[in-house]
Amino acid sequence: MTNPPQAIGENSLAVIDFEVTWKSGEVAHRDRLACQKVNFWRDILPGGLAEALHGKTAGDCETISYAPGELVTHYDEGKIREIKRTHFDGRGPAGHRIAPDCGRFFPLGMLTSAVPGIFKADMRPFRCVGGDGGILRVDLNHPLSGVAARVKAEVREVMRLGDDLGGRCTDWAQSLTDGPGLQARWRGRPTEFFQDGAFARADESADGAFYAQPRMTVHLDSRALGGVAELYGRILPRGSRVLDLMSSWKSHLPGDLEPACVTGLGLNRDEMAQNEQLSAAVVHDLNLEPRLPFGDGCFDAAVCTVSVEYLTRPVEVFAEVARVLRPGAPFAVTFSHRWFPPKVVKLWTEIHPFERMGFVLECFHRSGLFERLETVSLRGLPRPEKDAYFPDEQLSDPVFAVWGRRH
C-alpha cells in the first residue's frame, strides 16, 4: 500500500519556493526565493503563512495578500530626515568616491556616527531623495514600506524534522524582503544613475581589442541559465525573428522556441560561429556606435544576456533596440553577479544587485519607447553538484531580469 504524502506539521522541514509580487507605478515586479530548509518548529514566516501551509503536501500552493504595512513596516514620513552632507561617507569600492545622487540607495553604514543609531557595519539600505547645499535628505524607510504585496508559497518537498529541535531561527519574512523594493523609483521620480563618471571603466582601451581573443566560457551555472531560458520561453513569441544583442557562443534560448531566425550582434566572430542557434552574425561595437545596422521594425523580439553592464551608452542602445523592433515586441535584459572587471562600468560595481534592475528600468524609461515594464529576480536554488564552483558555493547564481514591450 502506498504511504500518504508527508504533510506540513509543527515538526516539519520543507523545501518551499516563495514569490513576492508587487507594483511600483506601472511596473510589475516578481521576486522569487527558493528556500531549501524551512523549519516549521522554529522559523518565522510572513504573517498567516505558516498556518495556511499547515497540512499542505508537495505540489500544493498558498497565496496571501498583504496590505501596506503588513509584510514590512508601515511607511513613516518621520523617517525622511535632513542630515549634513558631510555625514555621508561616500568611500566606495577600490577607494573611489560615491556621490549621494538622488534616488540612489546606500548602506546605512555610509552615514557617519554623527547620525544617531548608525554603526559602520550596518548594510541595511537607505535612500538619498534630495538635498540642497550642505543638506542631504534621506529616506530611512524599508524599500517596500507602503507597498501592497502578495506572497505565494509553493511546497516542493516535506520532510520530518526528527528530534533535533534546536538551532538557528530564520526569519523568512526578512529574507523575502531583503532586496526587493530597491528596483523601484522613489515616488515615481527618475533616479540619477547617469552622473559624470558613472560609465567609466578600468580599461578604456578599444573593446574590439579586448574581445579579439575568443572566450568560450559560460558565465553562470547551468541551473541559472535554465532560469534564463525559461524566462525567454515565457516572454518571446514562437516563430519570431530574434535579435541576440551582445551575442557570444551561446544564446540561451529555449529549445522549443522555434524562432524563424536569430541574429547575433557581438564583438567576436569566432565565438558567434560556434553558436548553433544563430542564423546570422554581425560584428558591431555598441560602445563605439550605438546605432544598430538593421532596418526599422525588422525583429519580433530582442534579448541581452549577462552583458548590459558593459554598455557605456545604454539609453541610446535601448532606443535603437526599440527602433528595430516591431510594435508590441519584447526586449528582455538578464544579468547576474559576475562580469569582466576591466570592462564593467563603474556604476554597476557600486549598486546593489536589486538596484541594478532599477538602473536597467531607468534605461527603458529614459528611452521613452517601451511599455508594460516588468522585473523578475530568482535566488536560492541549489547549485548543480557538477558545477565547477560546487561545493564551495552551495547556491545557484542569482538571475535578474527586466523587460518591456515596444510602444
Name the residue ranges covered by the structural domains of the chain: 12-71+148-176, 77-139, 207-406
Distance CA 255, CA 270 (A): 22
pLDDT for 115 beyond 90: no
What's the pLDDT score for residue 44? Answer: 95
Render pLDDT for 71-104 as a digit per residue (tens, 0 to 9): 999 999 999 999 999 999 888 766 678 889 999 9
Distance CA 224, CA 218 (A): 11
Distance CA 264, CA 248 (A): 8
Distance CA 169, CA 135 (A): 41
Average pLDDT over residues 359-387: 96
What's the pLDDT score for residue 1? Answer: 54
What's the pLDDT score for residue 165? Answer: 65
What's the pLDDT score for residue 270? Answer: 96
Which pTM value belongs to this model? 0.95
CB atoms within 10 A of CB 152: 16
Render pLDDT for 164-203 as a digit per residue (tens, 0 to 9): 666 789 999 999 999 999 999 999 999 999 988 999 999 9
Render pLDDT for 143-167 as a digit per residue (tens, 0 to 9): 999 999 999 999 999 999 876 666 7
What's the pLDDT score for residue 249? Answer: 95
CATH classification of 12-71+148-176 is 1.20.1250, yes or no? no
Does 391 sit behind a cis peptide bond, omega within 30 degrees of 0 on the bond before it? yes
The answer to whether 148 and 24 are in contact (CB under 8 A) is no
Render pLDDT for 295-335 as a digit per residue (tens, 0 to 9): 999 999 999 999 999 999 999 999 999 999 999 999 999 99
What's the pLDDT score for residue 217? Answer: 79
Dihedral angle at the C-alpha atoms of 332, 189, 136, 200, nearest 10 degrees? 40
CATH class of the domain defined by 207-406 = alpha beta
